Amino acid sequence: MTELIKPKMMDYHRHLLICIGDRCCPNGEGQALYDTLSEKFKAAGLNAGDLRVKRSRATCFGTCKSGPLVCVQPDGVWYYDITDEKLDRIIAEHLIGNQPIKEWIYHQH
């Protein structure tokens, strides 16, 4: 019998998820945004330490409109129609400044 190995995860302050699904991002826009996150987080100092942000891809958030969609947890903030420029503002204002950008929120829990 194979012994299960318990996964390990580094601590993080927030978790940013980007939908890369074909229904809301038929041209790969979500994946393209995800591909920029590592460098953007490094530049903003969000890749390590107390403000570290974990990043993940999701294939569907179940809302399938006006993507790319981005979710910031544990804040429960869901953004729509995110571009590279909007992502920069989310990083600066929400992830660093703790101020969600209200005009791009389509759901908040």
Residue-wise pLDDT tens digits, 25-69: 899 999 999 999 999 999 999 999 999 999 999 999 999 889 999
Residue 12 has pLDDT above 90, yes or no: yes
Distance separating alpha carbons of residues 21 and 102, to the nearest angstrom? 24
Report percent pLDDT > 70 for the chain.
100
The structure's pTM equals 0.92
The separation between CA 92 and the C-alpha centre of its own chain, rounded to angstroms, equals: 13
Distance separating alpha carbons of residues 48 and 10, to the nearest angstrom? 9
What number is the average pLDDT over the span 94-103?
A: 98
pLDDT bin (cut points 50, 70, 90) of residue 90 is very high
Residue 13 has pLDDT above 90, yes or no: yes
pLDDT score at 1:
79
Query: Mean pLDDT in the chain?
Result: 95
pLDDT score at 94:
98
Q: Give whole-number Cα distances, 66 to 4, 42, 54, 79, 105, in Å.
A: 41, 28, 24, 10, 12
Residue 83 has pLDDT above 90, yes or no: yes
- 9: tokens are 């995860």
Fold of 14-108: Glutaredoxin (3.40.30)
